Amino acid sequence: MKLKLLAALLLAAGVSANAKVSLPGIISDNMVLQRNSETALWGKAEAGAKVAVKAGWLDKSLETYADKDGKWKIRISVPDAGGPYSIEFNDGESTVIENVLIGEVWLCSGQSNMEMPMAGFQTQPVEGALERIINAAPDTPIRMCTIPRATADSPAEDCDTGWKENTPENVAWTSATAYYFASKLQAVLDIPVGIIVSSWGGTPIRAWIDEETLEACREDLAVQPELWMKSTLLFNGMIAPLTSYNVRGMIWYQGETDIPYGDMYRKVQPAFVDMIRRYWENPDMPFYYVQLAPHNYSDPMDTGAALIREAQMLNLGDIPNSGMAVTMDAGDPVCIHPSKKETAGNRLAYLALSKTYGIKGFEAEPPVYESWSCEDGRIIVTFKVGNQGLAPLGQILEGFEVAGEDNVFHPATAKILGSDGGRTIEVFCDKVKNPAAVRYGFRNFAEATLFNNFGIPASPFRTDSPDSMK
């Protein structure tokens, strides 16, 4: 009799253990949920099991049922910023996650300059990292979720991750660009901020897109077939598992690996953004990205990196609700991973604070080339720039080049004209009597000399691009 009773108890325990709700890695203690939204929670249980979800901010439980494969998903209303809360998942046995905050959540992706942690890469430091790391404290409501490197031949459902609190050790190994971005948002908005970091150094943009988008790009671009090999693998392993998790927007720092393929990048980056917005079912999702910083690459005078920067600049016109953080004053000639990650993170945050959160009183967007004209050898270049105009007024600006019909470029200088609100500059070059083209910063490595009135550098440009206007 005792043996039968023990067997029954063991059987019951086994059924209970099998039935207990399991959750994906991204739904964990310490997570941040997007405020003022309806967000999904999901997981697995026994096939057909009823799953009750009780969140600390709700008066009653919500219920759903696992399908024949044991998968379940439920949408839950999320209030304004606050916490910490707990969430209980119960299918007859309780699973509870704790210390959940509600605030702003951003997806942060790209290659090594997004991946680079606050502690830096070996022998490659992050400026200001020590103070940020030692001052990190859990009561500052920033939470981090880093997705481990993973590839997959088909879209994965889960990844081995979890949310972490704002402690020195955790901050040290979190993306520096993403952390500086989150830190600025949190300080200004005074609410919790969560960042989901999914990045992998040395990866091309095509690795981050799905098969459907890849196929459309293949058909649209006549490029060598080997360019598309091993594509989609990072989307499958590192983006697909996240697409049910609600986010406010996305920041992106990538492009170094695609330097040989500027024309391709011009087409693929907008397609990538469309894909992200489709998966998150948000056609207006904010998308802010870093324009590549200056670096020598094979030769500082070459223009491969300049062509990617040009594609990124032109894509501002093709990607609605986007913004570009120019970092022409934050590069490094010999290290491809510049130390000024706070500059990149802050400029991404300025774009979000201005364009997504509606904070007024400053101009976060970079000056961008609009048009040029030439009369009697006098070259005038006009920019799209905010009401406060270009800066610094009165100084001679370096970094410009002018060519005649022979397409040979010569060094030139410029100065800002103040007569029209600081929207135009005059470019000077005695060696070119009949100018046919103007360039600014159009090299692998160039230093910024032209800014807006709030210290945001102008994007490099050339007037001899097929997409430029005269």
Quick: pLDDT tens for 92-148: 999 999 999 999 999 999 999 999 999 999 999 999 999 999 999 999 999 999 999
Residues 358-412 have pLDDT tens digits of: 999 999 999 999 999 998 878 999 999 999 999 999 999 999 999 999 999 999 9
CA dist., res. 273 & res. 271, Å (int)? 5
Q: What is the mean pLDDT of residues 425-440?
A: 95
- The backbone region for 399, taken as left when phi is positive above 0, alpha when psi lies in -120 to 50, beta otherwise, is left
The chain-wide mean pLDDT, for the chain, equals 93
**Phi, psi of 202, rounded to the nearest 5 degrees:** 75, 20
* 427 contact partners, CB below 8 Å, separation of at least 6: 379, 380, 381, 400, 402, 412, 413, 414, 435, 438
pTM of the model: 0.94
CB 226 within 8 Å of CB 206? no
Q: Two tokens at 379?
A: 């070259």
CA dist., res. 288 & res. 354, Å (int)? 12
- In three-state secondary structure terms, 442 is coil
- Confidence tier at 229 by pLDDT (50, 70, 90): confident
Length of the chain: 470
Q: What is the mean pLDDT of residues 244-257?
A: 98
For residue 8, is pLDDT > 60?
A: no
Residues 310-338 have pLDDT tens digits of: 999 999 999 999 999 999 999 999 999 99
**pLDDT score for 20:** 87
CB 60 within 8 Å of CB 129? no
Residue 448, amino acid: A
Q: How many CB atoms lie within 10 A of CB 391?
A: 19
**pLDDT score for 419:** 85
Residues 167-177 have pLDDT tens digits of: 999 999 999 99
Nearest to 97 by CA among 83, 108, 109, 87: 87
